[in-house]
Homo-oligomer: A and B are copies of this chain.
Amino acid sequence: MSRAVVLLSGGLDSATALAVARADGHECHALTFRYGQRHDVELRAAEAVARQLGVAQHRTMNLDLGWIGGSALTAPLPVPKHRPLDGPATAEIPITYVPGRNTMFLAVAVAWAEVLGARDVYLGINAVDYSGYPDCRPEFLAAFQQVARLGTRAGVEGGGVTLHAPLAGLDKAGIIRLGVSLGVDYALTHSCYDPDAAGRACGACDSCQLRRRGFERAGVPDPTVYAE
């Protein structure tokens, strides 16, 4: 059974990407990062999703991005609420962007894949219903594919590691429909950028709005409890 490394944040998208990797027939090695995010509810969500979908192993790596700053997800800056989801919202890069995050996550994922002998890395980025982060776009992923090819033993000695973004072209409703068909339990996932002390989703950040609209459009009941 071929191995795959799957980046698993605990959110809706990465849970779906994990389900796709599993459906593609891989033995899945899930990788989560404690990167200085202000809340750890998503780490618990990642554990629950990994368990539900039956991974071979699940690693959570400490990666201190907090000292770099520059993001409302790792520094005490307010998370924007009730931003319009279309138009300007996705044309500008919001303050929830975390500099270098996906590049670092991919670097670790590819390194681990090399050592595991895995040829495939899955991640749940998508650029349709998303927050406008530059490191979620297909052109970014294509550039990183070249880095993986040229900067690794696996790439140079043959074989190499292939990056898969199976959700790249889907909107949130499409992702949810796909995940439901693959058995994802979305009640276990967490999307909110700014949960309350009890871990409850705010309902108003970009991520909550995209999630809520996705379930509505997919015609799937949203299991999330929102604060507003």
Contacts and interface: CB of A to CB of B under 8 A. Distances in A.
Interface of A: 59, 61-65, 67-70, 93, 97, 99-104, 107-108, 110-112, 114-115, 134-135, 137, 139-140, 143-144, 146-147, 149-153, 155-157
Copies in the complex: 2
Nearest to A152: B134
Given A65-B111, A134-B156, 8 more contacts: A68-B112, A69-B115, A103-B110, A103-B151, A134-B155, A135-B151, A146-B146, A147-B147
**Chain A, interface SS category:** helix
B70 A99 contact: no
Contact of A143 (B147, B156, B157): B147
Contacts of A110: 99-100, 103
A125 to B, nearest CB: 11
